[in-house]
Amino acid sequence: MRGWLDDAPSYVPPVKVGAVMRALAVGRVVESKNDDFPVGAHVHGTLGVRDYLVTDGKDLRVIDTSQVSGPEHLAALGLTGLTAYFGLMELGKPTEGETVLVSGAAGAVGSVVGQLAKIAGARVIGIAGSDEKCEWLTGELGFDEAINYKTADSLTKAIASAAPNGVDVFFDNVGGRVLDAALANTARNARLVICGAISDYNSTDRAGIRNYPRIITHSLTIHGFTIGDFGDRLPEGMKALGGYLAEGKLVSRIDARDAEVKDFPEVFGALFEGTNTGKLIMALPGRE
Ligand SMILES: NC(=O)c1ccc[n+]([C@@H]2O[C@H](COP(=O)([O-])OP(=O)(O)OC[C@H]3O[C@@H](n4cnc5c(N)ncnc54)[C@H](OP(=O)(O)O)[C@@H]3O)[C@@H](O)[C@H]2O)c1
């Protein structure tokens, strides 16, 4: 979403000044002249940050909230979980016994990535910004190790100590110095999955990657992606994620903040301040 606010060409057009902020959301039909969208049904789609929307229903789908909550359709079962699933399984391709390192590990995407890597039989190390987040990762989520990047004397050394045989898959949500520290610890033929670069989204002076010669010396593969690359395979990912959730193999944490439309900038800012754990969701008052 942050990238959509830059006046620059990207994978989707930028949101214009004064326009409704683009956002995936779950809403409820309150009036309808379309039998496909009966009153009371919950719908999922790019509804935007707003109270009400008049639409012909194009690109919206009715979702079943009887078994899975509306917010869950945005979290582990939504594009968050799908980003984790396809990025890790199709690009990172972890195998049993390999070491997977994930940054932004206690966030929405990262927390799912680490758990999927455990399901794949990998040893999993998370990087997160507080001791509480690290304890959640190694406790409830079953990560093997977690590093607090804010208090580690040297992040590079901390990763080296947690991954003595090197990192086989690095799933990056953060970029910047975290990416550089991970790069310095890669094993031969490691795969780097570049999902996000939140540490750089607001910076005007990007540091760049200093440890890039490692890409040559260790025969690394770097995959950047957006979830749109897997647009025709989403049902496959939803089936797998739904199965893991139902079996209790995947813990999904939703960090819902009650707020009004005007409060969106403050709620959104939590992602950059790191005050969220799991999937940050803005919940408009009085809606079900
Ligand atoms: N490629 C795709 O299709 C795709 C799809 C969805 C999301 N993404 C990207 O994936 C990343 C994660 O998204 P999300 O929605 O799951 O958000 P999130 O991880 O739930 O929230 C962002 C987290 O980033 C961490 N962070 C913020 N500033 C940081 C900094 N300067 N250095 C290190 N960590 C920082 C914070 O946790 P700490 O407390 O650990 O600092 C914060 O909680 C984002 O970069 C996003 O743009 C990509």
- Which atom of ligand 1 is nearest the CA belonging to 224? 1
Residue 103 CA, ligand 1 centroid: distance in Å: 8
- Which atom of ligand 1 is nearest the CA belonging to 109? 16
* pLDDT at residue 105, rounded to an integer: 98
For 109-149, write each residue's pLDDT tens digit.
Answer: 999 999 999 999 999 999 999 999 999 999 999 999 999 99
- Cα distances (angstroms) measured from residue 89 to each of 118, 136, 193, 223, 269: 12, 23, 10, 12, 30
* pLDDT at residue 206, rounded to an integer: 86
CA 238 to chain centre: 15
pLDDT > 90? residue 208 = no
Rounded-to-integer distance, Cα 103 and Cα 19, Å: 32
pLDDT grade for 286, boundaries at 50, 70 and 90: confident
Residue 175 CA, ligand 1 centroid: distance in Å: 10
Spell out which residues line ligand 1, taking CB within 6 angstroms.
80, 83, 104, 106-110, 128-130, 133, 173-174, 178, 195-199, 225-227, 271-272, 274, 276, 280
Using the Cα atoms of residue 106, residue 107, residue 110 and residue 112 in order, give the sign of their dihedral. positive
For 146-201, write each residue's pLDDT tens digit.
Answer: 999 999 999 999 999 999 999 999 999 999 999 999 999 999 999 999 999 999 99
3 state DSSP class of 131:
helix
Amino acid of residue 162 = A
* pLDDT at residue 104, rounded to an integer: 98
Residue 162 CA, ligand 1 centroid: distance in Å: 22
Identify the residue whose C-alpha is closest to ligand 1 atom 27: 272
Identify the residue whose C-alpha is closest to ligand 1 atom 37: 274
Mutation test of ligand 1: which of 151, 159, 271, 275 has the most ligand atoms closer than 8 Å to its C-beta? 271
* pLDDT at residue 285, rounded to an integer: 84
Mutation test of ligand 1: which of 101, 109, 227 has the most ligand atoms closer than 8 Å to its C-beta? 109
Which sequence spans correspond to the domains of the chain?
3-77+252-283, 79-228
Per-residue tokens: 92: 């990172």
For 217-226, write each residue's pLDDT tens digit.
Answer: 999 999 999 9
The residue-averaged pLDDT of 219-243 equals 97
* pLDDT at residue 196, rounded to an integer: 97
Domain 3-77+252-283: which CATH number of 3.30.230.70, 3.40.50.300, 3.40.50.2300, 3.90.180.10: 3.90.180.10
For 42-55, write each residue's pLDDT tens digit.
Answer: 999 999 999 999 99
Domain 79-228: which CATH number of 3.40.1410.10, 3.40.50.720, 3.40.50.300, 3.60.20.10: 3.40.50.720
Per-residue DSSP letters for 57-71?
-TT-EEE-TTTS-TG
Mutation test of ligand 1: which of 90, 101, 198, 201 has the most ligand atoms closer than 8 Å to its C-beta? 198
Identify the residue whose C-alpha is closest to ligand 1 atom 31: 199
Residue 56 CA, ligand 1 centroid: distance in Å: 33
* pLDDT at residue 288, rounded to an integer: 66
Residue with tokens 């959104």: 268
Residue 35 CA, ligand 1 centroid: distance in Å: 39
Beta strands in 51-144 (DSSP E): 61-63, 99-103, 123-128
CA angle at 45 for the pair 21 and 141, rounded to the nearest 5°: 95
For 72-109, write each residue's pLDDT tens digit.
Answer: 999 999 999 999 999 999 999 999 999 999 999 999 99
Task: Give the length of the chain.
Answer: 288
